[in-house]
Structures are given as C-alpha cells and as structure tokens.
Amino acid sequence: MAETKEFPFNLTFPFSRTLGATLSTFCSALAQGQIIGVRTGGRVIAPPLEYDPDTGAAAGTDWVKVGPKGTVSSWTWVPKPTNLHPLDRPFAFAFITLDGADTAMIHAVDAGSESAMSAGMRVEAEFKPLAECVGRIDDIVAFTPATDPSPSVDAGQPFVAPDENDITEMDAFCDLTYIDNASPTTMMWAAALMDGRLIGQKCPQCARTVIGPRGMCSVCAIELDESHVIEVPGKGVVSNFTVVTPTPYPGQTETEPFARCSILLDGADAVIAQQEILDVGVNEIRVGMHVEIVWAPEGQRNVDDIDNRSRGSGGDAILGWRPTGEPDEPADLYLERMM
C-alpha cells in the first residue's frame, strides 16, 4: 500500500505567565494606551528592560513616556500571514524607534503594500479601543504610516507608575500546526474501520497480536506490515480505565465526568485504548467487564480524524462499547499487561 495521506494536526493550549515588576509596569501602562521606556545608563530603553543590557546593572524605575509615533529603522515584509500573525493581511515586521526612546522595538506596520515601506518612515501606534485593552503588546493593533510626521507631544516626559500595577500576568496561547503523514498501517486500520472490521498484527517473533495502527511489535521492536495483519473480534474485556472530571478550559466541551477505557480484545495481547463505554455510568465501569463493539451505521462512518498517534482510535466509525452482561473476569488477570 504505497498510498499516503496527509493530515494537519493542530496543538493549541493556553498558559499564563507572570510578568515581573518591569513588564507589569509596561503592560499596565499599555492598558491605559501609554507606551513607556526606562531611562538607564544615559539612554531610554523601550520597551523597558529589567537590567541594562550593556552593564547588567538593574535598570531601575525611571519611567519615560515614549511614542506613540516613531521611526522605522528596518523591516521585513510578510506577504502571507498565518493565523498566528497579528494581522490577517500582508504587513511588515519592523524595528521602530519610538519618539523619546533610544532603542528600537519590534512591532507590525500596517502599510497596505510593501512599496509603502521604507527605512526612516514615520509611523504611529494604533491602539484598540481603550475598553478592549488588556495590557498586552497586541493592545497596539499595529503601527500605521503617520499622517503628521511631527514629534509625539508627550514623548520623553516622565511617567509616574502607580504603587501597584493592575496587570501582573498575561495569558498566551501555544498554537502549533503541522502536517503528518499517515503510516501504511494507519491507512489499513482506517480502511478496515470503514468496512466494520477490526484488525491487528501478529508478530512473527513473539506471536503476540497488537491492535490498531502501530506497525510494530513494541516488545520485539520489529516492523510489522500488511503480511502480519489478522482480523480480531469486536469483543473484549476492560483492562483499565480513567474517569476524567472535566475542568473548564478552552476547547473542553465536556461538562460531566466521562471515562476512557483500554480494552483487551479476545485473542489479542495489546489493548485498544481511549474507548468509550456506552449505556452505563462511569461509576459502573469495572476492570474485567466484558464489552462488545457498537459500530456507527454504514454510510455514517468517518475516519478522517484517525492519525498515527491514535493507538486504536475508532474515529467516528466506532460509537463505543457496550457491556455484554457476561460475568466479569478477575481484575487481577489484567495486571502487568502490555499496552
């Protein structure tokens, strides 16, 4: 089976970070629509740093208002922005020395076209409406070409910080998208699911049967291919399970506790993982419980989500597993099993 399938995988998760005293002051000022720097070593560094990069000495708290206008010193054009870029149309990333500052900061310039960009051009910060500012660098939507190139009015004036900053943390998202190629066994597994069949692979060395799109024996560390495929029954025993109590976080759609189970199929040596048990509450799930597969009706099966990491994911082809009512097996039988 030489056919390959590409599928994009998107990993997104939020995290919060503390800002420290200097960036807390900077971000709290941003939320008020003010950009600041710090005067240290005879110059103004903006955005402010905690330590003077030349001497390593503490930069102190001699805050200075800078901008909102500044001068571009160098730039690079971004013709095709991704979902992670600050603007959804072509723009420039530029080093901008704000009025009142001696160092450059990097930000986006929304100039319309590459030909409108030049070193030495005057630009001006365009803030979000004040009510939407949260104290992040993207409170400044972008810099735009300044309609009036004259110096910023308050630039270089002292900035009096409050005793306590409003903003001491920021939320950020890690967002990573990459393309994966489905392995040949992933393709075989997905095709079998569409037919309403489960397949495993029998290792020629240790004679164990593994389930799902693994393509290898995890005991012998040898590759398994099409020649090792065998059909396995849609019946087995719950070998372990986890009850997940959902906490609200971005992307979590579950609100009630749910279980994800590993099932050791009859005749197999490795489990099919991450399965859902139907018809019973999470408190009734037991290790040793006999279950059987419930397929989605033919024509309603979908395996688009199946990838190399899925370890037996059923996509939308397997609805779940229902208890058969047979007497449980002793739970001890399922200790020290291979995954």
Which residues would be at the binding site for Zn ion (CB under 5 A)? 203, 205-206, 217, 219-220
Q: Which is nearer to Zn ion, 40 or 201 (CB)?
A: 201
Q: Which is nearer to Zn ion, 76 or 205 (CB)?
A: 205
Least Cβ distance, residue 223 to Zn ion (angstroms): 11
Least Cβ distance, residue 221 to Zn ion (angstroms): 8
Least Cβ distance, residue 243 to Zn ion (angstroms): 32
Q: Which is nearer to Zn ion, 133 or 217 (CB)?
A: 217
Least Cβ distance, residue 199 to Zn ion (angstroms): 17
For the chain, the three-class secondary structure string (H helix, E strand, C coil) is CCCCCEEEEEEEEEEEEECHHHHHHHHHHHCCCCEEEEEECCEEECCCCCECCCCCCECCCCEEEECCEEEEEEEEEECCCCCCCCCCCCEEEEEEEECCCCCEEEEEECCCCHHHCCCCCEEEEEECCHHHCCCCHHHEEEEEECCCCCCCCCCCCECCCCCCCCCCEEEEEEEEEEEEECCHHHHHHHHHHHCCCEEEEECCCCCCEEECCCCEECCCCEECCHHHEEEECCEEEEEEEEEECCCCCCCCCCCCCEEEEEEEECCCCCCEEEECECCCCHHHCCCCCEEEEEECCCCCCCCCCCCCCCCCCCCCCEEEEEECCCCCCCHHHHCCCCC
Q: Which is nearer to Zn ion, 220 or 339 (CB)?
A: 220
Q: Which is nearer to Zn ion, 46 or 203 (CB)?
A: 203
Least Cβ distance, residue 205 to Zn ion (angstroms): 5
Q: Which is nearer to Zn ion, 197 or 208 (CB)?
A: 208
Least Cβ distance, residue 208 to Zn ion (angstroms): 5
